[in-house]
Amino acid sequence: MMDVRVTHPLFVLRHGQTEWNLDGRLQGRRDSPLTALGRAQAEQQRGLLRQVAADHPNLKIYCSPLGRARQTAEIATAGLGLAFEVDARLQEVSAGAWEGLTRDEVRLRLNNADLGEFEMFTNAPEGESFNALYDRCAVFLAELSGPTAVVTHGITGSVLRGILLRLSVDEMEHLPREQGRIYAVSGGQEVLI
User: Which residues does the annotation mark as catalytic?
Assistant: 15, 92
* Residue 47, SS3 per DSSP: helix
**Distances from the Cα of 160 to the Cαs of 44, 147, 183, in angstroms?**
22, 14, 11
Taking a C-beta distance cutoff of 8 angstroms, is the pair 157, 177 a contact? yes
Outline where DSSP puts E strands in the chain. 10-14, 60-63, 85-86, 148-152, 183-186, 189-192
* Rounded (5°) CA angle 134-138-141: 140
DSSP labels, 93-138? PP-GGGTT-BHHHHHHHTTT----HHHHHHTSTT---HHHHHHHHH
